[in-house]
Amino acid sequence: MSNPQAWKHFNDIVLSVLVPAYNEGATVETIMDRLAQVPLKLEIVAVNDGSSDDTGAHLDRLLTIGKVHRVVHHSKNRGKGAAIRTAIAAATGDV
């Protein structure tokens, strides 16, 4: 019996990392730098959950320089659960 899904080698798997952010302008780049140190293939999906500080601007800048792979903005704060659901919908990694 053959498996309809081909197994990928460990080194070929892309791990989606979901980063909900609310008023994290002062720390969001440090978080992304720490994630860059993880020795795995990562897809970083960040959701600015209606922040009232400069979190959104920081995430957009990090996207342009390649430290984040996808950024989604909520126009108002919808809560961590909603931010996670939005990130899951935007993620394209294997895990």
The Cα 95–Cα 21 span in angstroms is: 21
Give pLDDT tens digits for 5-57. 677 777 889 999 999 999 999 999 999 999 999 999 999 999 999 999 999 99
Give pLDDT tens digits for 47-86. 999 999 999 999 999 999 999 999 999 999 999 999 999 9
Q: Which helix (H) or strand (E) holds 77?
A: none
* Structural tokens at position 10: 């460990």
What is the three-class DSSP state of 61? Answer: helix
